[in-house]
Amino acid sequence: MCGIWALFGSDECLSVQCLSAMKIAHRGPDAFRFENVNGFTNCCFGFHRLAVVDQLYGMQPIRVKKFPYLWLCYNGEIYNFKQLQKQFGFEYQTLVDGEVILHLYNRGGIEQTASMLDGVFAFILLDTANRKVFLARDTYGVRPLFKMLTDDGFLGVCSEAKGLINLKHSTSLCSKVEPFLPGHYEVLDLKPSGKVASVELVKFHSCKDEPLHVACDTVEALPSGFDLETVKSNIRILFENAVRKRLMAHRRIGCLLSGGLDSSLVAAVLLKLMKEININYPLQTFAIGMENSPDLLAARKVAAHIGSEHHEVILNTEEGIQAIEEVIFSLETYDITTIRASIGMYLVSKYIRKKTDSVVIFSGEGSDELTQGYIYFHKAPSPEEAAEESERLLKELYLFDVLRADRTTAAHGLELRVPFLDHRFTSYYLSLPAELRTPKNGIEKYLLRLSFEDSNLLPKEILWRPKEAFSDGIASVKKSWFSILQDYIDQQVDDVLLEKAAEKYPFNPPKTKESYYYRQIFEKHYSGRSSWLPHYWMPKWVKATDPSARTLKHYKSATQE
């Protein structure tokens, strides 16, 4: 996890523009480099480093003697860089996994490069010999990337939007800053003036398609067919492989543990594999919640079962409310459910950074979208429509859960790893018949649970624990986190303001005091940038007025009387 920043064709002094690069310093607390591009005095790279692999040669932009005309600034982890080296005979000069991007590009161009990377990434690749700039982002947008391109060819690229919104430029008062689309690469011509012109934007991978890099995966061809035992076995094999490949790190590994199915499975498999490869420190797991909240109690049970070194962070209401503004600033969104869920994750990340030496943090993001874990999937009209909704959610992850998971951890210099979004695991799961993937017997994620039933990885009551939204599970059963927030916000927003909300904010107008409150804070920091959120996250097929699972009729807590 790092912070990348680059400018091409700046009219203003680069030493002034460089101040914008410091807005993402939290993403790389270990080192910073600012470098001009030879022969292009108005082009530069900025890089904030979190040292996770190759402590000695990991600074960027990466340049190697073999390709003196290539400059690479990237944020991510490429899990198959050693397999690619073996397959193509690449001669690496560093231990940095991202160096493979230079070799792949030299061998087969940008299309093959983006398609063959098994990992999470956002990168800027400059080829001065052919005067090209390339941008690319992984399938689910696990690593963030924003760009700004003016009419006269001034390009700014950054891990977070906050590093671009205050750039100075002669012809534009308010340049359009937008997220770079996941699963795409863009080709731009670099002119002698340092300005650029976009040539093409290409989608190189869809979540349903088996990725090209399967050809050099450590797990070979799986048995075909959709009989239940084969499917369950394949799910276990691919999920374990997804966790195993993400063990690549020179820094201590930890795991977020809410006590729900997803994070519990990740933690259990992670600890099992750490023992197998003789990692000689205990796995630290982290849970946050109010005293005796459902998540804390369940996480405690899981930690005891798997034998992790467990940490509990007690959330008090005042601390959560005080964090709202800094959370919205970190997130760069005003989406209601994203902000609610981010407060707990932001505070537990803060604890991890201050009180422990864990830096590489595993988490369960992506499972709800992939395995139809949201409670509203019980209301899907048909398995086919449920499958379509699952794919839509996966495509929009970069706007919601993946955005939350990245920003809340990156704000405290942690690196997130999300095995449920492994390319091969997700493409296999989405290839299964729609009927197999739907909730069964009133239980969501039925197939995933069934696949691990005989593994003894988790206690049965955790494996079959009903869905609990993170923003609700951290609170007590009697009063959920969202209602605590709403009670506080009711005192902060006047009824008259809400009545005129649509006039003040015509795009995605706030419908509640809570959403109005969040929007005010967002506009304070990112005025006029409301289009970053195309729509609010809301459940489908139900007449919901609030995104919380606790407002849906299906919701039942095991501890409710």
34 token code pair: 């600012």
Strands, E assignment, 138-227: 146-149, 155-158, 177-179, 184-190, 196-203
Of residues 2, 73, 207, 255, which has the active-site annotation?
2
Q: Is 463 annotated as a binding residue?
A: no
Enumerate residues 6+ apart whose C-beta is below 8 A from 278.
Answer: none
CA distance 372 to 382: 13
Q: Work out the angle at residue 354's Cα, subtended by the Cα atoms of residues 352 and 359, and round it to the nearest 5 degrees.
A: 45
CA–CA distances in Å: residue 363 to residues 318, 383, 468, 518 = 26, 28, 16, 26
548 token code pair: 């919380």
CA distance 375 to 372: 8
CA distance 532 to 397: 13
Contact of 60 with 74, CB cutoff 8 Å: yes
11 C-beta neighbours (distance < 10 Å), count: 15
Q: Is 288 annotated as a binding residue?
A: yes
Contact of 485 with 319, CB cutoff 8 Å: no
Q: Is 270 annotated as a binding residue?
A: no
Q: Is 363 annotated as a binding residue?
A: yes
Q: What is the 3-state secondary structure (H, E, C) of 89-157?
A: CCCCCCCCCCHHHHHHHHHHHHHHHHHHCCEEEEEEEEECCCCEEEEEECCCCCCCCEEEECCCCCEEE
What single-letter DSSP state applies at residue 536?
Answer: -
175 token code pair: 């340049």
What single-letter DSSP state applies at residue 29?
Answer: B
Query: Locate tokens 């995933």: which residue?
Result: 448
Q: Is 97 annotated as a binding residue?
A: yes
What single-letter DSSP state applies at residue 517?
Answer: H
Question: Phi and psi of 48, rounded to 5°?
Answer: -110, 125
Contact of 481 with 340, CB cutoff 8 Å: yes
82 C-beta neighbours (distance < 10 Å), count: 16
End-to-end CA distance of the chain: 44
CA distance 194 to 41: 8
Known catalytic residue: 2?
Answer: yes
Question: Phi and psi of 262, rounded to 5°?
Answer: -65, -55
Question: 43: closest CA among 17, 4, 8?
Answer: 8
Q: What is the 3-state secondary structure (H, E, C) of 437-454?
A: HCCECCECCHHHHHHCCC
386 token code pair: 């449920």
Active-site residues, by number, are 2
Task: Tell me the binding residues for L-glutamine.
Answer: 97
Task: Tell me the binding residues.
Answer: 97, 256, 288, 363-364
Task: Tell me the binding residues for ATP.
Answer: 256, 288, 363-364
